[in-house]
Structure 1
């Protein structure tokens, strides 16, 4: 069983509501990622930007992007994770896909839709937390606004890695920095946050600040620039720290209702 997980975080500007151009851009960036990387993390709505006009996106683009993710994962022998605009049964979702190199697919629909932008009026909220296994690591992926709700991320499953993909604006970036580190410390897990850069079609600015924190909140990677960040996650670090500092064993016991 592997004891490390090599990750790559793609922090970049996005073409507004243009899946074709974004897929091409990401494909070019992914082609230059080293062979030993196991998992590539893409931003929230990585083919469109954070649009509240999903009707501007062709219905076929969701399935088209999933097909593209599977092709890239197989060709590069790396797993991909990121969220896109996805339409199903006449409803829109901010849906995250995890695709393994073998084509195994896991999905997570954003639980906390961003009411400040009216996301709750456009996209259906998810109700199920996702934990998946990859190369010996238990991984919990979430999306942007979910970061503000610690109970939803509470580590009752003893997961190893918490991932947030986001379009988090510059004006509230201090909250992003603070909460990512807090989620790592309180859950005694690695915490990965991938944000975008640039300006979107509504003129909102995004400053990057993608980061990786270890189970004690120490910074393994951080950048404000448009670039690919790399970090190696170590299973032994998780296990030895939790064994020495048994904080998770003292967590409060309660169940979520509704």
Structure 2
């Protein structure tokens, strides 16, 4: 399973321009099985105009994701602001398949500190998607701070975190990604943006971490870029069998 992490700048609300900017980045690394983009990859987080009229941009974003998935014969993963069937606004992580069908996860932990709860409603489903023989738990940004919700039940091999995580809390981003990998004996794929908006500066720190907590792929801080890595599932299973930490985990239920 070849994973590509895509780290890019996101000028606020200019969704057509942002999608166009991603084309050459994706083309730098052809042949990946999955391309993972940041949270709100086409609009930026809580940007001006982000909420108003969100239906049309979301439609175009999903069309673009479907086209790229078909073009690259790969999964495309990233979050968009999208209204559900009841008209409620969600921060929705889309897992687009090459055939145009998609799975999705609605961000559960909304970032109250930045006002996300004023416009959005939280999700209530824990979502695992299987792709290419690998099981992925889908998570968005602030979810990273809540380990109980992402605790392994033996039902996934990797966690995907897409984010708009600011520079001033970069140490927390790096530390928590490693913690999630180590405590759940899984790969962790963390993709963050670069650039700035009206509130924050972002330097990226996009990485793939293995179950030992080692960084096995990364993008350069502060720069747009793409990095790839092969996930070794046989090695992961050998490690879990040799050192079965999760067998001693506490029993609990969430949702």
Q: Distance in 1 between matches of 2:30 and 2:68?
A: 14
Would you say 1:159 and 2:156 are equivalent positions? yes
Of 208, 230, 248, the residue aligned with 2:204 is: 208
Q: CA offsets, 1:147-169, max 9 Å, x none?
A: 00000100014310101000000
Would you say 1:16 and 2:16 are equivalent positions? no
Would you say 1:108 and 2:105 are equivalent positions? yes
Would you say 1:148 and 2:145 are equivalent positions? yes
How large is the Cα RMSD of the aligned pairs? 1.3
Q: CA offsets, 1:38-75, max 9 Å, x none?
A: 00000000010001553344421112211111111011
Conserved 8 A contact 2:159-2:187: yes
Q: Which runs of 5+ in 2 are unaligned?
A: none
Where does residue 60 of structure 2 map in the other structure? 64
Would you say 1:76 and 2:72 are equivalent positions? yes
Where does residue 228 of structure 1 map in the other structure? 226
Compute the displacement of 1:256 (Å): 2.1
Q: Distance in 2 between matches of 1:240 and 1:221?
A: 21
Count the aligned residue pairs: 251
Q: Which runs of 4+ in 1 moved over 4 A?
A: none
Conserved 8 A contact 2:25-2:225: no
Would you say 1:171 and 2:168 are equivalent positions? yes
Q: Distance in 2 between matches of 1:131 and 1:239?
A: 18
Where does residue 126 of structure 2 map in the other structure? 129
Query: What's the TM-score once normalised by structure 1's chain length?
Result: 0.94
Q: CA offsets, 1:173-199, max 9 Å, x none?
A: 110000000000000000010000010
Compute the displacement of 1:91 (Å): 1.9
Compute the displacement of 1:93 (Å): 0.9
Where does residue 93 of structure 2 map in the other structure? 96
Query: What's the TM-score once normalised by structure 2's chain length?
Result: 0.95
Would you say 1:40 and 2:35 are equivalent positions? yes
Compute the displacement of 1:90 (Å): 2.5
Where does residue 139 of structure 1 map in the other structure? 136
SS at match of 1:54: coil
Q: Which runs of 5+ in 1 are unaligned?
A: none
Would you say 1:181 and 2:175 are equivalent positions? no
Q: Distance in 2 between matches of 1:57 and 1:164?
A: 26
Would you say 1:29 and 2:25 are equivalent positions? yes
